[in-house]
């Protein structure tokens, strides 16, 4: 499929994990992509994996939690692409801790990157999206937005906010023809969930040492994954994102798609 031929796409969080998988998938479908990330090393890794599409990929260092960085970054991205048709807000961080041990700064940092970052990038993208071809926005919520994930209160709050904001923006911009949807990954192996992502340079997402695993009634996806792995690869989400951001989903807006192999049935 070449659903992205002549489509101009900005993907945040493109330096690792699911964001990187989205970059590679959309390049494979013929898109012109600007991949942004806070990590230069991560972006270099993405570029190295996209050798066959180097002429259609640009990379951009941008901190989605910083308003000035987003304002400048969006201007640069739109200039590089000559417009914008699809925005994929994949940038995010995960921090896990017991609530009573969670510092205010850590809670606010998660909200700043995940929720405020999605708001800032989307706000700055609206003008070019209005002029785009079949414009679409794909946001990243999470299964934690609707299902209890212990020790992840900040992350769940941020992803619940993204879910609600996606519904609101879908209605607000329906008459402009801009579609807003979100994906809810779960049981996915990525740099964010395993702590190995290029952009993860501080506290990892691992559960507390004394975590009560009886609070997780079922972690295993119902679908069988090739190789017997517990978590699916990021490409499982990237394929759904590619559909939602393409003209194939022209009649889909204001909804979420859970990609978790049936873990949260």
Q: Mind listing the pLDDT tens digit of every residue in the chain (265 residues)?
A: 899 999 999 999 999 999 999 999 999 999 999 999 999 999 999 999 999 899 999 999 999 999 999 999 999 999 999 999 999 999 999 999 999 999 999 999 999 999 999 999 999 999 999 999 999 999 999 999 999 889 999 999 999 999 999 999 999 999 999 999 999 999 888 765 554 433 333 334 578 888 888 887 666 788 877 776 778 999 999 999 999 999 999 999 999 999 999 888 7
Residue pair 67/120 in contact (Cβ under 8 Å)? The answer is yes
* Tokens coding 169: 């923006």
Report the domain count for the chain.
1
Residue pair 93/15 in contact (Cβ under 8 Å)? The answer is no
* 115 three-class SS: helix
* Tokens coding 87: 């925005």
d(CA 153, CA 196) in angstroms, rounded, equals: 22
Judge whether 207 lies within some domain.
Answer: yes
Judge whether 204 lies within some domain.
Answer: yes
Q: Write the CA distances from 104 to 107, 108, 147, 208, 229, integer angstroms.
A: 5, 6, 23, 17, 36
Judge whether 208 lies within some domain.
Answer: yes
Closest by CA position to 189, among listed 154, 243, 226: 226
- Which CATH number goes with the domain that contains 73? 3.40.50.720
Report DSSP state, residue 184.
E
Judge whether 74 lies within some domain.
Answer: yes
Judge whether 1 lies within some domain.
Answer: no
Q: Which domain holds residue 114?
A: 8-259
Judge whether 85 lies within some domain.
Answer: yes
Helices (H), 195-234: none
Please report the pLDDT score of residue 245 as a whole number: 98
Please report the pLDDT score of residue 200 as a whole number: 34
Judge whether 2 lies within some domain.
Answer: no
pTM: 0.93
- Please name the residues in contact with 105: beta carbons below 8 A apart, sequence gap of 6 or more: none
What is the number of other CB atoms lying within 10 angstroms of the CB of residue 214?
A: 7
Q: Which residues are catalytic, by number?
A: 155
Judge whether 265 lies within some domain.
Answer: no
């Amino acid at each position: 499929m070449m659903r992205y031929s002549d489509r101009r796409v900005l993907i945040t969080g493109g330096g690792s994990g699911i964001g990187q998988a989205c970059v590679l998938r959309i390049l494979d479908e013929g898109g012109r992509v600007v991949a942004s990330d806070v990590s230069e090393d991560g972006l270099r890794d993405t570029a190295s994996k996209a050798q066959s599409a180097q002429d259609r990929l640009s990379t951009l260092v941008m901190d989605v939690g910083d308003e000035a960085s987003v304002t400048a970054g969006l201007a640069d991205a739109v200039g590089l692409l000559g417009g914008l048709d699809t925005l994929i807000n994949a940038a995010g961080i995960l921090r896990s801790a017991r609530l009573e041990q969670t510092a205010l700064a850590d809670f606010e940092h998660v909200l700043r990157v995940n929720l405020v970052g999605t708001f800032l990038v989307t706000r700055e993208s609206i003008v070019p999206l209005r002029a785009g071809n079949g414009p679409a926005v794909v946001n990243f919520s999470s299964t934690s937005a609707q299902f209890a994930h212990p020790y992840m209160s900040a992350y769940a709050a941020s992803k619940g906010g993204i879910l609600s904001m996606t519904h609101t923006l879908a209605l607000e911009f329906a008459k402009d023809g801009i579609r807003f949807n979100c994906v809810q990954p779960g049981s996915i192996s990525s740099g964010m969930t395993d702590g190995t992502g290029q952009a993860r340079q501080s506290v990892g997402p691992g559960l507390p040492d004394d975590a009560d695993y009886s609070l997780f009634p079922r972690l295993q996806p119902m679908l069988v994954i090739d190789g017997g792995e517990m978590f699916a690869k990021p490409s499982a989400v990237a394929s759904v994102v590619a559909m939602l951001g393409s003209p194939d989903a022209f009649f889909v807006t204001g909804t979420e798609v859970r990609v978790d192999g049936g873990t949260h049935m």
